[in-house]
Each structure stands twice: as C-alpha cells, then as structure tokens.
Amino acid sequence: MLENRWIPEKVKAGLFPKQVEFLCYEGREALYGGSAGGGKSAALLIAALQYVDEPGYSALLLRRHYTQLTKSDSILAKALEWLLPLRVRYHASEHKFTFPSGATLEFGHIANEAAVYNFQGGAWAFVGADETTQFSGPMLAYPRTRQRRVTGSRIPIRWRGGTNPGGIGHDYVKERYVKAKDGSDPATPDRQFFPAKLSDNPHIDQDDYVRQLKDAGVDGVLLDQLLKGDWDAVAGGRFKPEWFGRVYRDPSSPDFLRLVRDGQEVERFKWTDRPRFQTCDPAASTSARADYFVLSTWCVTPKANLVWLACERGKWEIQEQVGLCQASYLRWRPQFVVVEELLNQRSLCQILRRSTTPAMVVHGKTPGGRKKLEHALAAIVLASTGRVYLPGDNPQFPLDDVVAETTRFTGDEDLDANDDIVDTFSYAAECMPMLGGGTGGGRPGVWAPSGVRR
C-alpha cells in the first residue's frame, strides 16, 4: 500500500492507525467507521486502489444517488483529484477510470431496489459502498453476487463499506456487522467491523467540528450517531421510545396484567375479561425483497390504554400466513381481525373469511389512498399521550424489532426500511373506540372498527 503510486504521498503519510488496520484486512467483508470525521471515504477509495496494478482487477464504488457522486466533496471528486494528475484515463460518461494495467475503477449509484439490476452482468473483485446505511439490505446484497475473479488470480474478493449509524439500512448493517439481535458480535474471520470515531482522526480540528454540528442545530440523538458512532441511538422517527410503557404479567395471578410507566404501576386489570382484536399486514411473497407479514394482537384496558399483547413477524407463503392467523385467533380469541386488503394482498383476507376452523370475524381495510405518515397519525397521537404499552417480560414478543421500527419510522418510503409493524399499529389506533384520554370506566360500548368492510 505504501508503494502504491496512485495514492498521494501526503495521504499515505497521514493515514492513522484505524485506517491502516482496516486497509490491511484481507477478509471478504469489512465495515469501517461509525462516526463522522473518521476518514471513511478516503479509506474506502484507498481500499479500491490497492490492486489497480494487477491485470484483470476491477473495482466498483457506490453511492445511493447520482447527485451524491457529483458533489465537490464526494468520493468521486476525491478520485479525480488524485488520479487525473497522474494521467489515468477517465471515461466521464461511465464514471470509470482505466489504469495502465487494464484494471478499472468504476463509480455507480443505486437509487432504489429495482436499480440493482443495472449491475446485472457486471463482475468486480472489489465493491465498496460509501455511506452504507443509506442503502437498504437488498441494495447492499445484490452487488455482492457480482463479485468474482479469474481462475488462478491472487486478487482477494473484497466488499467494503464506510458509514455512520442511521439511515434506511441501519438495522441491516448493524445486525450484519456491529451487533446481532441477541446482542452478540456478528464478526466472523471473513466479516469484520472496524469502528472509527472523530477522535481517531488527527487531521480534523475536533472542537471546531463539534461546534459546527451543534451550531447547525443537530439534535442530541443524531449528534451521538455522528460523534460517538452510537448504533443504538435513533434519530428522525415520528415515535419516541419514552412514549411506550411496559406491561407485565402479575406473577401471583397470571390472568392479571400490570401497566408500568417510569417505574410506577398505572393500572392493573384482568386481561381475559377485556376486549381483544388483531390487525394484520400480509405479505405477497417470501422473497428477500418482499415486505414482512405482521400479525399484532391488542387489548384495551378499562382506562382505555392499548396493550400490544403479541406480534408475529416474518416472511411466509400465503398458506403459512393463513395457518398462523388461524392459530393466533384460536389462542387469543379476539372479537375480530382487521386485514389489510390491497390489490396484490387480497387473498389472505378472502381465505380467512371462509375459515371454519375457527370461524373468524374478518374485516378488510386499506389506507384509502393516504400516505404512510397520514395513515399513522392516529397511532402517533395515541402513543404520544402515553396510552400504549409493550410486553416487558415476554421473550416471544419481538420488542427490539417493534421499538426499532416504530422509533425510526418517518413516513418517507425513501428513508424507512420497513413499516409493516407500524402499519398494524396504525390500523389498531383506527380501531380504537375512543382516542381521547381515558380516565377509567367500564368496557367500551362500541366495538366496530371504522371504515372497514366485511
């Protein structure tokens, strides 16, 4: 690397230990960074240039949008600054450099998941994703299928990413490289995470940089993501984690639930006597690109709080979805189940209406042409008033998934990786018989969801 003539001498002399550690790793996958100012783009470009003197070598560097490639401080601008003075041939229409060895370095963008097929037929030994969490999981996975080398080549196959926490791919990247759902380290000999923070970069005036971010009005959560590389911080979501209380089974009486907020019990009730209902967001297929199937079960308390009793989430074929709905209906005995009934997802609703084992009360519902954020407004209001409770002692409830998706939900399809859990919550809020602040009383008298059809 130090003898690589394509990397400016001042850049090589200024490499700091975390960058060197990342660049010396030859395993198949590596993620670098975690906070702003860690030298991610420079490290990614150097990694792409490491084998350009080898005939047959090809590298691809990706950004999410074309405009991000054309900015004055982009990774492509950095490549032009380094390579044009060395008379490396550059094909502007293709954003492609060709070196004397015949090796190539290309730059591309993946604006949406359908755009991954623009890279079908290509082959690269190196693929790098700048600002990795701006890509969804499928956007990151597909280019890895395009990685190959000629027989007998000693060039390693490498995928490299550089990013801060946050963005549409946050959960996917975190689980694959930083921390698995069970809290364990997902690293393998061929997949490593190299954390780097602002404090690791000696070339930045750190006090001035932090001051600029604060003066720009960056909120505290985003500041933790940028400066500390905090993968558990969440920014930009419409729901706040502190809005959700916790519900616990009463150990002395399993039929009773205790609602707890800020360490204080706010309500205790017998859940088996309370009205229950379900909301379901079907999935059209089990493909990696398909949405998740989600079935949520709800209970309304005497004080008109909403308890999220259960949430089943996964990717299953339609017959498996039918079986899950029927089994859950038998277990919870809800008054009805609301199933989203869009054009390509109508079959589940239709099959469940014909179910006899058990006979089910099924209501079909659609967003009615509303955008995601508008559809979620009732749920946002309900949660913001502190009336929604999640299980705190049920290991079968996907608490991390529910909190992560709801608190990262923005209503912008370009930013939200998944919204299926939020959709079931939105339908539940619309089914509530009252949305004002309940202060006690008996069983709600009206239990027919508005705007649904049988």
Q: Identify the pLDDT of residue 201.
A: 62
Is 4 a member of any domain?
no
| 8 A C-beta contact, residue 283 and residue 418 | no
Q: Does residue 281 sit in the same domain as residue 404?
A: yes
Task: Write out the E strands in 229-305.
Answer: 244-250, 253-261, 264-270, 276-281, 293-300
25 three-state secondary structure: coil
| 8 A C-beta contact, residue 318 and residue 326 | no
| 8 A C-beta contact, residue 133 and residue 163 | yes
Q: What band does 366 get if pLDDT is binned at 50, 70 and 90? A: confident
| 8 A C-beta contact, residue 186 and residue 175 | yes
Which pair of structure tokens corresponds to residue 175? 């689980």
Q: What band does 448 get if pLDDT is binned at 50, 70 and 90? A: very low
Q: Does residue 158 sit in the same domain as residue 285?
A: no
Radius of gyration from C-alpha coordinates of the chain:
26
What's the CATH code of the domain at 32?
Answer: 3.40.50.300
246 CB-contact burial (10 Å; exposed 0-12 / middle 13-18 / buried 19+):
middle
Q: Does residue 286 sit in the same domain as residue 212?
A: no
Mean per-residue pLDDT, 424-437: 74
Is 452 a member of any domain?
no
Structural domain ending residue among the three candidates 173, 204, 228: 228
Q: Does residue 58 sit in the same domain as residue 188?
A: yes
Mean per-residue pLDDT, 432-449: 41
Is 135 a member of any domain?
yes
252 CB-contact burial (10 Å; exposed 0-12 / middle 13-18 / buried 19+):
exposed
What's the CATH code of the domain at 391?
Answer: 3.30.420.240
Beta bridge partners of 162: 32, 130
Is 59 a member of any domain?
yes
Mean pLDDT score of the chain? 86
% the chain with pLDDT above 70: 84
Pairing of strands 191-196, 104-109: unpaired
Q: Identify the pLDDT of residue 33.
A: 80
Q: Which of 328, 324, 337, 338 is nearest to 293 (CA)?
A: 324
Structural domain ending residue among the three candidates 228, 249, 281: 228
pTM: 0.63
* Number of domain units in the chain: 2
C-alpha 7/C-alpha 1 separation (Å) is: 8
Q: Does residue 327 sit in the same domain as residue 222?
A: no
Is 404 a member of any domain?
yes
Q: Identify the pLDDT of residue 400.
A: 81
Is 438 a member of any domain?
no
Mean per-residue pLDDT, 243-250: 95
CA 298 vs CA 38, 305, 404, 448: distances in Å = 45, 10, 19, 14
Q: Identify the pLDDT of residue 110.
A: 95
Q: Does residue 64 sit in the same domain as residue 143?
A: yes
Q: Provide the domain limits for residue 129.
A: 9-228
Q: Does residue 128 sit in the same domain as residue 245?
A: no
Mean per-residue pLDDT, 256-267: 95
Q: Does residue 221 sit in the same domain as residue 246?
A: no
φ/ψ (deg, to 5) at 443? -65, 135
More confident residue, 310 or 221: 310
Mean per-residue pLDDT, 307-315: 96
| pLDDT(210) > 70 | no
Q: Does residue 55 sit in the same domain as residue 189?
A: yes
Mean per-residue pLDDT, 92-103: 97
| pLDDT(316) > 50 | yes
Q: Identify the pLDDT of residue 238.
A: 84
Per residue in 150-189, pLDDT (tens digit) is 788 889 999 999 988 877 888 889 999 998 877 789 999 9
Q: Does residue 291 sit in the same domain as residue 198?
A: no
Is 236 a member of any domain?
no
Is 358 a member of any domain?
yes
| pLDDT(235) > 70 | no
Q: Does residue 245 sit in the same domain as residue 190?
A: no
Q: Does residue 45 sit in the same domain as residue 190?
A: yes
Per residue in 392-421, pLDDT (tens digit) is 999 899 988 898 889 888 888 777 778 999
Q: What band does 200 get if pLDDT is binned at 50, 70 and 90? A: low
Q: What band does 199 get if pLDDT is binned at 50, 70 and 90? A: low
Q: What do you get for the CA distance between the two ends of the chain, in Å? A: 67
| pLDDT(441) > 80 | no
Which pair of structure tokens corresponds to residue 370? 């509303």
Q: What band does 57 get if pLDDT is binned at 50, 70 and 90? A: very high
